[in-house]
Amino acid sequence: MSRAGLDLRGQRDALLAGSVSSEELVLEHLLRIERHAALNAFVHVDRDLALRAAREADAARARGAQAALLGLPLAHKDVFVTHDMPSTAGSRMLAGYRSPFDATVVARLRAAGAVCVGKTNMDEFAMGSANENSAFGAVRNPWDAQAIAGGSSGGSAAAVAARLVPAATGTDTGGSIRQPAAMCGITGIKPTYGLCSRFGMIAYASSLDQAGVMARSAWDCALVLGAMAGFDERDSTSAQHAPQDYTAALDAPREGADASRPLAGLRIGLPREWFAHGLADEVAQAVREALAQLQRLGAELVDIDLPRSELSVAAYYILAPAEASSNLSRFDGVRYGHRAEQYRDLAELYANSRAEGFGPEVKRRILIGTYVLSHGYYDAYYLQAQKIRRLIAEDFLRAFADCDVIAGPVAPTVAWDLGAKPDPLANYLADVHTLPASLAGLPAMSVPAGFGRGEHAARPVGLQLVAPHFAEARLLHAAHQLQRVTDWHQRAPAN
């Protein structure tokens, strides 16, 4: 087997055993990235920088260094700023921009020894569900090149699924880690809001954006999350939560459980609203089969209600655009970013620079956000959406009184064909199952659960797991136990 075909844990073990050097491992991944350029998963790759970092990792290991990710290749979503590579957020507005510093997530993974091979493609400013809104073109799904990879972290998802890197960072505002992870057949986790620093992450919606991990397995995600999480005084929304070794608890038995039933005592809530009309039969079947497997592992399935789930789409697409209209006002063509060549005065400089720099979806959300924040509409729209957000969070609190983890589909369908949903509203509705957890700030993840049926037999399905705040270890444990008895996460696209 190609060493690039190994998961992160396998590659780490190979490095520790001395059967491969970091330089050899990174070079193998760089060659795969070149061979699979048609996926459009990367917007920037720096071969020389990556190989130099790999050689430094090999030298550090020879000196006895033992950092958690020492010498392991990974990629960063292009929403994280990096001082040694361009940071564009998938937008023409930031074409060629180089930050004078690293995002905290980037710095922490670098300190843990990870070797960054490049920056991955994404929906412009993380606005999208299909990764078709990037200024660099759409990302293609490694399982079916005619299908979307999911958004907005589609480049990271495609890169991991195609074995271009064993792990990658992503961000999740309304489902942008979980949805592409599900559609590309990999594992992805969005931690509790505030667990990972947002410092140096180009903002879309500040009260929702959260950094996370995309990898092959729950074990791989646990390793990377442990290295990147933790309090950051430079981020005013960072939570005072002690660092944790998430891999340590993956195989720890629950109290009263045994080896054959490691999930005994775990109550998994099934929201009635998530299995109602609108869910494709092939997705429902795959999710039900995964739930049955969890049940065989000892978990108890209980029905619960999240009655305001259907309001999450309306609430999110008021709140997120409102925050985006504020965050993106800094891109005016004066201080940094794209500047129009033709203008007669300052007002026209602003207008022309923003019109040329932003893509259609970003413009649409800025307009919506500006409208709902305007005088006369703030109370009618923005304030009401905030109230609904609070009610959705309270629904989760009540539900967790009856269960330990909530499970359901990630998306109502498998990945659709590129260009098949030109209507923005159709794309927004694809987030219906991921938005509630985002609005409540809860940790949630996508776990491979099978594939579609018929013409969609090559398109993956994901199982979503949601836990109370800061219960990432509980999520990862359940996902890891499921992956010990299934092989969906081990399957790879052809070539």
Catalytically annotated residues? 77, 152, 176
Angle between helices 218-228 and 104-111 (to 10 degrees): 110
Which residues, including other chains, have CB under 8 Å from residue 390's CB and lie 6 or more apart? Answer: none
Composition of the chain by helix, strand, coil, percent to 5: 40, 15, 45
Q: Is 322 helix (H, G, I), strand (E, B) or coil?
A: helix
Kindly compute the dihedral angle of the four CA atoms of residues 246, 247, 250, 255, in this order, to the nearest 10 degrees: -60
Token pair, residue 283, equals 């997705």
Q: Is 219 helix (H, G, I), strand (E, B) or coil?
A: helix
Q: What's the sign of the alpha-carbon dihedral 431, 475, 195, 443?
A: positive
For residue 73, is it left (φ>0), alpha (ψ between -120 and 50) or beta?
Answer: beta
Contact, 139 vs 117, CB < 8 A?
no
Q: Give the C-alpha separation, 401 to 142, whole Å.
A: 40
Angle between helices 384-399 and 312-327 (to 10 degrees): 130
Instruction: Please state, as a whole number, how many other Cβ atoms lie within 10 Å of the Cβ of residue 35.
Output: 12
Q: What's the sign of the alpha-carbon dihedral 356, 358, 364, 369?
A: negative
Instruction: Please state, as a whole number, how many other Cβ atoms lie within 10 Å of the Cβ of residue 480.
Output: 22
Q: Is 25 helix (H, G, I), strand (E, B) or coil?
A: helix
Maximum separation of any 2 CA atoms in the chain, in Å: 74
Q: What's the sign of the alpha-carbon dihedral 87, 92, 97, 99?
A: negative
Q: Is 138 helix (H, G, I), strand (E, B) or coil?
A: coil
CA angle (219, 225, 228) in 5-degree steps: 150
Q: Which residues of 226-236 are buried (b: 16+ CB within 10 A; e: fewer)?
A: bbbbbebeebe
